[in-house]
Structures are given as C-alpha cells and as structure tokens.
Chain A
Amino acid sequence: MNFKKYFVKSSVAVAVVAAATFSAGAALAECASDALPGEMAKPDGYPARALTMVVPYGPAGGSGQVAQAMAKAVSDLTGVSINRDHKPGGSGTVGMTAYMATPADGYTVLEHIDDAASAHALDSGRPNPSEALIPLVTSQITFSQIYIRTDEDRYTDWASFVDWVKAQDGKATIANVSKEGSMERVTMKFITDATGMQIQQISFDKGAPRYGALAGGQVDALFEQPGDVRKFLDAGKFKPILTILKEAPEAFADVPSLTDAGLDFEPLLRFRGFYVKAGTPDDRVAWLQWAFQKAFCEDSYQQYNESKFMNLIDSFRDTDGSKELITSTIAQYRDVYKQMGLEIK
C-alpha cells in the first residue's frame, strides 16, 4: 500500500502529507549523512559474520520498529545481516545489562532510547551512554504533545483546558508513563509548576491501554509523542492542544508551542539511537559509524521516519552530536531531579 494514497482521504492528513512530503524532499536533497562516501572498505575483513543488535524493548513498540528499520537499511547498504535480539524488561535495564556483558568486538550493537541517559542521571552506577558506549547515530528525535479527544466539549484548546483543569481542584486526569524520574513525569512537573494547575497523572506503561483510556473517555487528556498517536490524529479522533517545544514545527503550526502558551522551560526530547561498546577497535567503530549514519539516509529508513513524524525536527545526530545530546540531557535531568528532591546516586 502506498503511503501517500493511504492518507489521502483524510482532510487532516492532506496537510500532514504535504508537510511530510515537503520535509522528505528537503531530506532527500540534503540528507544529513549525504557527504559520507557511498562505500567503505571493511577493516581487515570485519564484519566477517552477521551482527547482533540488542534491543531492550519488544519487537512491536517504537524501539522494536526503529531497530528493524535501521537493521534493514544497514543490511541493504552493506550486505551484512543484522539479527535483532530483543531483551525487554525493567525499562530498558535488562537489555543494557545484557549488552554490557558482551565482548567489545564490534559484532554486537545496541539500540537504546533517552531512558538510558535519564537512568544514568538518577543512578551513576548505570552506564553513561556517552562514555560506556560509543553512539553510532541518533536516528530519531521527537517531542511530546498534550492531546484531547476531538469531540471533547468541556474544553477545546490549551487555554480552556488549563481553566477547566484548575476548576476541577486536582481531579482532572492525564494518561502518561509516569514512572519515577521519567521524561513524562518531569515534563508534567514543568507544566504544572508553570501553569499552577493540579492534574492527576495516570500511569499506563503500554501504549494501547493508554490511548484507549483517552479514546474511551477514562481520562481527560493524554501526554504522548505525535508519531505514536498518528493514526488517531489522521482519523480525527485526537487533537493536540500543546506542543512541548519552544517553537511549533510547521506540521503543527496551529498548535500552541511552549512560547505561545507562555510556558518557560527547556523541553525534554525523546530520542532513539544505536551504540557500540566503548573499547571496540577504532577501525571497526569507524566502519559502524559510517554504516549506521549512511543508512539513516537510505530511502527505506527515511520513509519509515516520515511515517512516524520523525522528520518534523532534525532527527539526526552523528557520534559527536549524540554525545552532546546525551551529556546535556543527563545534566538537565540531574538539575530537575535535585529540584524534585529525588535521591541521586
């Protein structure tokens, strides 16, 4: 099924497709890693066999899908197979622990998300993804939004939502993943501090019950990233009322950003990337960096990122860019955790 044909019947989607197409054109014209050479000689015959990619989440979620898309793109580009080894559990801890026990020979790579950075920020005993690991590429960076049902009549936009929540005296609810120290909980603290509203966060660790809770009217709002609820946006079931970025991206130009809403805090981003263990021979790291960064610009990967709204802000960071992103994220979380009174180990 053709991607554009799929969305063409929805009026909301038409605008989305237009925005996506525009970005895609831009992406194809000047994709981040275009400057890299199209081929790179294998250092001393490495890799001589298939690579293994440890994925600390299940195959069906966002991490599982990006791992699959990237593995395919790297394999198409290099001809080297990549086997995915899903080790879900413990909010990514299990996969990370299993990965840290593998040899640093370049044959095992890791997919991980920003949770690895926030976990290290809270407990320095956990591996620092910019030191214990070498980031090969960050291939998805996205932002969060607050959603309500489109047919909601108690409030229709951010301003009326804030007024309504305040009138409920702490009884209003929002579905998110409110685990201790999570990006969602920290961001919600920023928002409630800045607006003075009190809202009860309901923690759903799986996507389906979380989206079902808003669709079924069990909660009043939802905190999520746009790519994950795209089907509800395209179907006209949910609508965003706040974009948690300083400036709204073009595809959501009519949704207030933090600046528009008068909220002054530094937004936290959700990012996913690929890593190899520190200590891996330099020539192998260089080859992996080339393969994963170049694969980001493969058509199949770009198409996947577009379908997940991962093209609305710059989703690419090379090794140095990733290290910078991770380091600043860790520092940001540490600050917030201290303010929240959490015990930092």
Chain B
Amino acid sequence: METFNNFLGGTAALFGDPMGVLIFFGGVIGGMLFGAIPGVSMLTLAAILLPFTAHLSAEHGIMLFSVIYCTGVYGGAITAILFNIPGAPENAPTAFDGYPMTLQGKAGKAVGAAVMCSAIGGVVSCIIMMIATAPIADWAISAFGPPEIFALVFFGLAVAASVGAKTFWKGWLSIMIGLMIAVVGLDPVGGIERYNFDMPYLAAGIHFIPTILGFFAVSEIFVQAEKKATGSYTAPKLSVDFPTFKELWAHKIAVVRSIIIGFFCGILPGIGATLAAFMGYNEAARWSKDRMEFGKGKLEGVISSETANNAATGAAMIPLLALGLPGGALTAMMVGVFQMHDMEPGPLVFINSPDLVWVVFAAMFFANVSILLVGFLEAKTIVNLLRIPFQFLAPMILLLATVGAYAVRGLTIDVVVMFVAGVAGFFLRRSGYSVAGIVLGLILGKIGEQTFAQAMQMLHFEFTGFFNRPIALGLLIAGALTILGSIYGAFFKKQPVPASDN
C-alpha cells in the first residue's frame, strides 16, 4: 500500500509540474527518435543532453534520462525491423526475425509486436522495481560474482550457437570468430596488448557498435545492391497491419519468459539489456517447436527480444539506485547526472531524496505506457520510410551508419572496422555463417574473458572451485548439456533446413 501511495505521489509530482510534463514528453519522443534513426542512438542523445542537465533540477535531469532509456531501447527496434539496422546492440536480436518479416511484407506486424512487447516488458519490470529495489539489488550482488556471470555467459554462448547459422558447425564457427575479435586489444586483467600489430588505436579493441553496423547494416546494403544488380531485387511490401490480440496472446509464455530473463540480466551490474535481449531470443528459439523457423521471420523472435530488452530497463535501475552501480553506458551517464547535482546514486538516495526516486519510478512507468500510445502513432508514420526507393535509402543508411560508427569513440578506425565487417558479413552470410553469432561472440566474449579471469583469481586458479558455487555450477551444466544436445543433433538427426541468411 505504501508503495502504491508513493507511486501516486510520484505521479502527482510528475504531472503536476508543467516543466516536468514537458521534459517527460520531450524525453519520450527524443528517445524514440534517436533510437529509431539509423546510426545514432539514445546514447548519442544522452551524451548531447548531459551538460544541459546541470540547468535542470535533479528530479528533472534524472527523470529525463530514465525516460530516454525506456523509449530509446524501444526506438532502436524500429530500424532493426525495417532496415536490419539495430538502433542499439540490445535491438540486434530483434533484427533476426524482424527484418525477414519486413521483406515478407509483414513490417507492420513486427513493429506492432515490438511496440506491445516493449511496453509490457518495461511496465512489468517497472512494477517489480518499485516493489523490491533494495532486496533485489542486495541479492544480485551477493549471489552473482564473476564465476556466476562467466557461467551465465557460457550458457548464453552455448544456446546462441544454434541460432541463425545454416549448420551446427557454422553456428559454432561464427561464435568463435566473434570470440577471436573480442581478444583484440588490451587483455582485461593484466592490461597486456594483444593482436593490435603495434597499432595504438587497435589497443582499444574492436568495439561492438561499428561491428554491428557493419555486419547488419552495411552487409545488408551489399546484399540488396547485389540483388538490384542481378535484377532479383523486390522492394519490401509496405504494411501497417498490426498484430491482433490473438496473435500476441499465442506467445504469452514467450513474453513471461523474456520478462524473467530480461529482468534477471538487467539487475547484474555491467551486463544490462544487450545480454537480456540475446538470452530472451535464444531461449525462445530453444523452447519453440518451430525452432528452425527462427531467423526467417518469426513473430515470436521479435516478441522475445523486445520484451527482454525493455524488461532490463527497470531492472538496470535497481543496482543503480540502490547501490550506485550502473549496468551499462546509459545508466553510467545517469550517475553523471546525479553527480552534477552533488548527489550520488546509492542507498542514501532512498533516505535523502525519496521524492526524486518516486518521480523517476513514475516517469519510467508512464514512459513505458506511452510507448504504446506514441509508439503506435510513430510506427504508422515511420513504416512509410519503406516507400523510399532503395537507391536513395541505401546511401542515407550508409552515411548515418558511418556517422554512428565514428561517433562511438571519435576514432576513424571504427569506420574502417564497420566497412571491413560489412564486406566480411556479405560473404559470411552467403556461406551460411551467422553474423548474429559473431556479434554475440564479440559482446559476450569480452564479458566472458574478463569474468573468467576474475573467477580464476578468486578461485585460486582451481577450476574445481566452480563446483562449490551452486548457481555457477548449474549454469555450466546447463550450457554443457546444450552443447552435447546440439552435437548429438548435428550427428544423429537430419541436418536442419538452411535458415535465412540473416
């Protein structure tokens, strides 16, 4: 009851203040737009706005960022679905099925599902956040140390190997390529330079954003350009048919599963929405009867990915607000907003600034609700981008992707990496490898290597130490069984039908 009263108080404070309302809707629309423009993301908007938050009150500044977070994660799904360009890494799995749906003339259904599921995932995670922030945060950091996070990553990779590639072996090879790219740069523990060929810029490692832009956006333009040149190009059919309630209800289990996965990944410091989306998608594929249909334009793929990444938004606020531990780039910027107002997120915020906390909670709740309202309106409009002929759209996408790749770190090498990934992706996709697997290997490889090294240090370099940690052991066993199961399938079952080249 007290929670509900606090929520009402936060809502009243949010909508009773004209400036607050203005900032709220500015954040909702800004997050969606920046999320939806290929090449830029909610992080770009947040970085631009960060210095200006000094002129806002602490409540308004933090509320603005949390609203951008919720709607930006959704906004990135639009370009993933329409153009195979994930607005952010957490939208990458949305493209696996969303883009094939667009090619099949079902863009409206995919976008509609993204709107609905983002809102559902976000709202549920907001409610859990409001009810139990402090105990969940404490549990997450005591139960999940580096060994558990490594085991989670291992499990994630084991499952991912079966997604998107033509064969089991190509799936694993794709993951391995990603893992190899992940080791370029400084080693995460000793800081020793590896595979950078004495190039100082490569010492910073290969960033996953230019890699994603290359593998997804640039290679897709090459694929379409080839079709255009060979006369086999057909423009994607425009559709604004949103999914029916019945269609969505059929995937209720996938939604619930993705909420649980998304929320769980979101509360782990340093993990965040990207792993949530990949895990949500992988688990949906794993438990589905039509597993081989994933990657070819299955609505459930979009649903599971978008539910999970928005479910992670509320969850990521838990370690941030309760402990002052940001889970990803945007929550780290929120720490900056707090500090600009001489505050630190953490336990004291609940004691000293309960009003602020509840305004932020209410704003996040309503931001997710407004994804439904504003999102549908935006989706109806933005789907019309598909009317632009390919020869005009492709250069625009390339330009925006180039800007997006450069903007991450202000390094020209990131643009080079994007184009190299684009060319490599073009050939790898033709050969039945999974670019999604490569990207996942890259993202999880960095987290996995670091947590494995930390786990080994903690366990005194004895691998058997994992056996004394039940959660880690459980995840490792589940991962190993998954691998064994897929090896069995690869040898003893009929080879799967080739999946889409996505």
Contacts and interface: CB of A to CB of B under 8 A. Distances in A.
Q: Which 6 A-B pairs have the closest CB atoms?
A: A89-B204, A216-B141, A179-B191, A231-B344, A90-B203, A218-B145
B342 A6 contact: yes
Contact of A58 (B200, B325, B332, B351): B332
B48 to A, nearest CB: 11
A93 B200 contact: yes
Interface of B: 47, 50-51, 54, 58, 138, 140-146, 185-186, 188-193, 200-201, 203-205, 269-270, 319, 323-327, 329, 332-333, 335-336, 339, 341-348, 351-353, 409-411, 450, 453-454, 457-458, 460
A217 B142 contact: yes
A216 B457 contact: no
Interface string A187-202: 0000000000000111
Interface of A: 1-3, 6, 9-10, 58-60, 64-65, 68, 72, 85-91, 93-94, 97-98, 170-171, 173, 178-182, 200-206, 208-209, 211-213, 215-219, 230-232, 234-235, 237, 303, 307
16 contacts: A6-B342, A9-B351, A60-B336, A85-B410, A89-B201, A89-B411, A93-B200, A93-B204, A94-B200, A97-B201, A201-B457, A202-B458, A203-B189, A211-B325, A216-B140, A307-B339
Given A94-B411, A178-B190, 19 more contacts: A2-B342, A6-B352, A59-B333, A87-B410, A89-B205, A91-B191, A170-B460, A178-B189, A200-B460, A202-B458, A211-B323, A212-B141, A212-B323, A213-B145, A231-B324, A234-B344, A235-B348, A303-B342, A307-B342
A10 B348 contact: yes
Contact of A180 (B54, B138, B191, B409): B191
Given A60-B326, A212-B141, A232-B324, A87 B458 contact: no
Tell me if B's interface is mostly helix, strand, loop or mixed.
helix
- Which one of A64, A90, A182 has the highest number of Cβ atoms from chain B below 10 Å of its Cβ? A90
Contacts of A213: 141, 145-146
Contacts of A217: 142
A266 B47 CA distance: 40
A307 to B, nearest CB: 6
Nearest to A214: B141
A67 to B, nearest CB: 11
Contact of A90 (B145, B185, B352, B457): B185
A111 B193 CA distance: 23
A7 to B, nearest CB: 8
A94 B348 contact: no
A64 B51 CA distance: 12
A64 B332 CA distance: 11
Contacts of B190: 178-180, 203
A161 B333 CA distance: 35
A94 B347 contact: no
Contact of B347 (A86, A209, A237): A237
Contacts of B339: 65, 307
A216 to B, nearest CB: 3
Contacts of B347: 235, 237
B457 A200 contact: yes
A180 B326 CA distance: 26
A97 B200 contact: yes
Contacts of A10: 348
- Which one of A87, A204, A206, A215 has the highest number of Cβ atoms from chain B below 10 Å of its Cβ? A215
A256 to B, nearest CB: 26
A212 B200 contact: no
Tell me if A's interface is mostly helix, strand, loop or mixed.
mixed
Contact of B341 (A1, A93, A212, A237): A1
B189 to A, nearest CB: 4
A204 B410 contact: no
A202 B454 contact: yes
Contact of B203 (A58, A86, A94): A94
B241 to A, nearest CB: 42
Contact of B270 (A91, A206, A230, A234): A206
A98 B185 CA distance: 16
Contact of B204 (A9, A68, A88, A171): A88
A58 to B, nearest CB: 7
Given A208-B270, A211-B324, A98 B411 contact: yes
Contacts of A205: 188, 450
A231 B345 contact: yes
Nearest to B188: A205
B337 to A, nearest CB: 10
Nearest to B412: A98
A86 B203 CA distance: 16
A173 B458 contact: yes
A94 B191 contact: no
A234 B410 CA distance: 37
Nearest to A3: B342
A215 to B, nearest CB: 6
- Which one of B191, B339, B454 has the highest number of Cβ atoms from chain A below 10 Å of its Cβ? B191
Contacts of B188: 203, 205
Contacts of B346: 231-232, 235
Nearest to B204: A89
A324 to B, nearest CB: 27
Contacts of A212: 141, 269, 319, 323, 325
Contacts of B343: 1, 6
Given A1-B343, A215-B141, A218-B146, A209 B270 contact: yes
Contacts of A170: 460
B201 A94 contact: yes
A208 B204 contact: no
B145 A216 contact: yes
A150 B183 CA distance: 38
A138 B71 CA distance: 41
A314 B347 CA distance: 30
Contacts of B410: 85-87, 98
B336 A59 contact: yes
A68 B141 CA distance: 31
Contacts of B323: 211-212, 215
B336 A90 contact: no
A238 to B, nearest CB: 11
- Which one of A93, A170, A217, A307 has the highest number of Cβ atoms from chain B below 10 Å of its Cβ? A93
Contacts of A85: 410
A300 B481 CA distance: 58
B351 to A, nearest CB: 6
Contacts of B50: 59
Contact of A216 (B142, B186, B352): B142
A201 B189 CA distance: 10
Contacts of A216: 138, 140-145
